[in-house]
């Protein structure tokens, strides 16, 4: 039968070996510095003294990956995986920028998804324009290389534009917000209301070897969008 001293010695050896193995694994995880190495360490040694640092390093690596992918889905997946992460402000800012592009393309699904994940409906762009103002101005994305839509554009796909407006307002978009020119979304819309269809044109400018060709086509006023914003302002 083992005496007391031998039992204590065995326990100390086991503890020392365990600590040495844990610390060795931690050092190796830091050397590898990958999401996999930290995940494996956390799985093997839950609640260790390096637990907090391992989780922090893991989240940092995963966030860098999400930023590199720079998509609504990548930030969504990260937020779902790490709901209490420390990058919420950065994620919101990145999502807001991605939302502007979705608005320009009239991608209703992506706008709604961005808002759901954390995009700011009142984010201010470089020119002070909020998402609702960009929508009201009718900005559209570059169609292809060398081709840009310049003028205010209304007409087709009204339902998409109106759905985006409703989503932004539901998420808390301020309809009275103004840009660097002191104009609100309604100001831009009212600046067009009352003019005949023929007075408003869409300019499609194509640059080709230093030359510029301009074509014009008639467009239609989106009075439904005006009503949505007016109603929200009551």
In this prediction, residue 15 carries a pLDDT of 44
Query: For residue 132, what pLDDT band results from cuts at 50, 70 and 90?
Result: very high
Q: What residue ranges of the chain are covered by domains with CATH 1.25.40.20?
A: 86-232
* Residue tagged 């269809």 (tokens): 197
Place of tokens 């007391």: 4
Q: Is this structure's pTM higher than 0.85? A: no
Query: In which band, very low, low, confident or very high, does the pLDDT at 137 lie, cut at 50, 70 and 90?
Result: confident
Q: What is the mean pLDDT of the chain?
A: 79
State how far the Cα of 156 lies from the Cα of 144, in Å rounded to an integer: 19
**What is the b/e burial string over 43-57, where b = at least 16 CB atoms within 10 angstroms of the residue's CB?**
eebeebebeeebeeb
Share of the chain above pLDDT 70, in %: 71
Q: Which tokens go with 157?
A: 């796909």
Ordered DSSP codes for 171-215: TT--TT-B-TTS-BHHHHHHTTTTS-GGG-EEEEEEEETTEEEEE
Q: 186-199 pLDDT, tens per residue?
A: 888 777 544 444 44
Question: 64-110, pLDDT tens digit by residue?
Answer: 999 999 999 999 999 999 999 999 999 999 999 999 999 988 899 99
pLDDT score at 189:
79
Please give the pLDDT value at position 117.
95
User: What pLDDT shows up at residue 233?
Assistant: 82
Helix axes 35-44, 4-32, angle to 10 degrees: 160
The pLDDT-based confidence of 112 (bands split at 50, 70, 90) is very high
pLDDT tens-digit readout, 146-194: 433 333 444 457 888 899 999 999 999 999 999 999 999 988 877 754 4
CATH number of 86-232: 1.25.40.20
Strand partners, 5: none
| Residue 12 reports pLDDT greater than 90 | no
The pLDDT, as a whole number, for residue 149 is: 38
- Which DSSP category does 149 fall into? E
């Amino acid at each position: 039968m083992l005496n007391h001293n031998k039992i204590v010695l065995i326990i100390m050896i086991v503890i020392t070996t365990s600590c040495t193995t844990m610390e060795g694994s931690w050092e190796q995880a830091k050397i590898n510095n990958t999401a996999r190495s930290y995940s494996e360490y956390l799985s093997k040694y839950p609640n260790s003294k390096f637990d907090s640092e391992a989780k922090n390093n893991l989240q940092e690596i995963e966030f860098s990956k999400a930023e590199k992918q720079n998509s609504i889905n990548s930030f969504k997946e990260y937020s779902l995986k790490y709901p209490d992460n420390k990058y919420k402000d950065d994620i919101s800012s990145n999502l807001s920028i991605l939302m502007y592009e979705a608005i320009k393309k009239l991608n209703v699904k992506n706008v709604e998804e961005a808002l759901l994940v954390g995009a700011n409906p009142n984010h201010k762009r470089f020119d002070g324009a909020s998402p609702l103002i960009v929508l009201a101005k009718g900005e559209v994305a570059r169609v292809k290389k060398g081709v840009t839509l310049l003028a205010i554009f209304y007409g087709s796909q009204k339902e998409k534009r109106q759905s985006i407006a409703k989503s932004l307002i539901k998420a808390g978009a301020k309809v009275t917000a103004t840009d660097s020119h002191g104009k609100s979304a309604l100001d831009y819309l009212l600046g067009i209301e009352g003019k005949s269809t023929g007075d408003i044109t869409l300019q499609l400018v194509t640059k080709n070897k230093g030359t510029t060709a301009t074509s014009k086509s008639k467009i239609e006023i989106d009075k439904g969008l005006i009503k949505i914003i007016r109603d929200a302002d009551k």
